[in-house]
Amino acid sequence: MSVSLIEQAEPEDDRLVAKAQAGDRSAFSELVRRHQTVVYRVCYGVLGNLEDAEDAAQEAFLRAYDKLCSFQGHSSFRTWMLRLAVNLSLNYRTRRKTDLPLLDGQATSDPGPEAQAIRSDDTARLHTALQQLQPGHRAAVVLRDLEGIGFREIGELLEVPEGTARVWAYRGRQRLKDLLA
């Protein structure tokens, strides 16, 4: 999503948040619809497991609904929501200590079984390597390289300075290179 699309979405999100805080459940449902894909992808990137990511994303939206009255608009709703999702995912992973499955169950459009096997193996290696990164480094890499989120927003999401977010992403990438070499 480009910056201009994000900036255009923010006023609409602000309007929906205000309506949801006033008790309009359909407004919150619209916020969920607008952000569910990115929340799920971030949870999956941190957790590396489809079922755990679904659980974490659902839990993030439940918590957002419960805590919506405390949202004061110091950041965008998207940033606030992703912060909830990242923190929940990191905590969930720590509690569960689950290993990453070898296949993520997503269909591919490769021409044959050999190409599918290679792609599945590469995907599994990447997700296994991601799980070996320190939690902050993993989150920074997922947010930056898989979701395309800027370092300023990553810093807000992870509650660290922008420079720290840059360093974490850099160190995470370096460690990934070592692990995948």
pLDDT in tens, 41-62: 999 999 888 899 999 999 999 9
Q: What is the pLDDT of residue 33?
A: 96
Most confident of 44-53, 58-67, 98-107: 58-67
Q: What is the pLDDT of residue 5?
A: 44
Whether 71 and 157 share a structural domain? no
Task: Report d(CA 28, CA 23) in Å as an integer.
Answer: 9
Average pLDDT estimate for 113-142: 80
Whether 18 and 60 share a structural domain? yes
Share of the chain above pLDDT 70, in %: 81
Whether 47 and 91 share a structural domain? yes
Q: What is the pLDDT of residue 91?
A: 86
Q: What domain range is 173 assigned to?
A: 112-181
Average pLDDT estimate for 123-135: 86
Whether 133 and 180 share a structural domain? yes
Binning pLDDT at 50, 70 and 90, where does residue 108 land?
A: very low
User: What per-residue string of b and e applies to 3-35 under the rule 16 or more CB within 10 Å gives b?
Assistant: eeebeebeeebeebbebbeeeeeebbebbbebb
Q: Locate 131 and state its tokens.
A: 């799980």
Task: Report d(CA 123, CA 89) in Å as an integer.
Answer: 20
Binning pLDDT at 50, 70 and 90, where does residue 101 land?
A: very low
Asked if residue 131 is part of any domain, the answer here is yes
Whether 85 and 151 share a structural domain? no
End-to-end CA, the chain: 31
Task: Report d(CA 51, CA 105) in Å as an integer.
Answer: 11
Asked if residue 61 is part of any domain, the answer here is yes
Point out the least confidently predicted range of 65-79, 82-96, 98-112, 138-152.
98-112
Cα–chain center distance at 51: 14
CATH of the domain at 132: 1.10.10.10
Average pLDDT estimate for 21-47: 94
CATH of the domain at 44: 1.10.1740.10
How many other C-beta atoms are found inside a 10 Å radius of the C-beta of residue 112? 7
DSSP 80-143: HHHHHHHHHHHHHHHHH-PPPPS--------SSHHHHHHHHHHHHHHHHHHHTS-HHHHHHHII
* Residue at a domain's end among 40, 68, 98: 98
Condensed to tens digits (0 to 9), the pLDDT of residues 146-162 reads 889 999 999 999 999 99
Task: Report d(CA 170, CA 28) in Å as an integer.
Answer: 36
